[in-house]
Homo-oligomer: A and B are copies of this chain.
């Protein structure tokens, strides 16, 4: 994975060094990313911190999306925009919908569709960045209802990043480490999220920082 990050950084460097136009990045995800383009959202924050002549950032998040929703709409919502980089951040609904509507995603099918998305993006010469789903609940003692399943699906994504040699923003790991330090009362929300899932101000800043580190790696 480390090799993946350096290679990725090197290509980014080349693309910004020798080509005049900025790197176009599409953030492809669910309601968290949909809210990310709002003022104060993580994409909005990235826009303010990354130089506009080097990065063009586009939000493509839709509430309730699971991996196969991304698959179904990638032609219209991603490929049509001709991005250089796509950041995939999905997984919360694949797990959550099991309980909230009985329509979550089977583990093996999650991987199958995720791979199909990666392959199609790569076939279009798009560089792909993966993210793990951050949280459904911020309790730090592994007693959030979906913790086991979120850990499982995050492990799938880490494995995909390794197998496809792709940069990974491991938000699940980052959130857990942050919460272990900053959530001594074992609250289920209010540290990085407003409602156990969606980002509060600190959460948006935290995600923006994590994303920036990968997008600018090597510069």
Residues in A lying within 8 Å of B, measured CB to CB: 68-69, 72, 97-106, 109, 112-113, 116, 137, 141-152, 155
Residues of B within 8 A of A112 (CB): 72
- Smallest CB separation, A100 vs chain B (Å): 6
Total copies of this chain within the assembly: 4
Whole-angstrom distance between the Cβ of A90 and the nearest chain B Cβ = 14
**Inter-chain contacts of A106 with B (CB < 8 A):** 101, 103
- Shortest distance from the beta carbon of A78 to any chain B beta carbon, whole Å: 17
Whether B141 contacts A145 by the Cβ 8 Å rule is: no
Nearest residue (CB) in B for A107 is B145
Q: Is the CB of B151 within 8 A of A141?
A: yes
Residues of B within 8 A of A72 (CB): 109, 112-113, 116
User: What's the least CB distance linking A25 to chain B, in Å?
Assistant: 27
Q: How far is the CA of A189 from the CA of B112 in the complex (A)?
A: 24
- Most interface-central of A69, A104, A105, A116 (chain B CB within 10 A): A104
Shortest C-beta distance, A188 to chain B (Å), equals 10
Question: Looking across the interface, which residue of chain B has its beta carbon closest to that of A147?
Answer: B148
Q: Closest B-chain residue to A156, C-beta based?
A: B143
Interface centre among A69, A137, A143 (most CB of B within 10 A): A143
Complex Cα gap A66–B113 (Å): 14
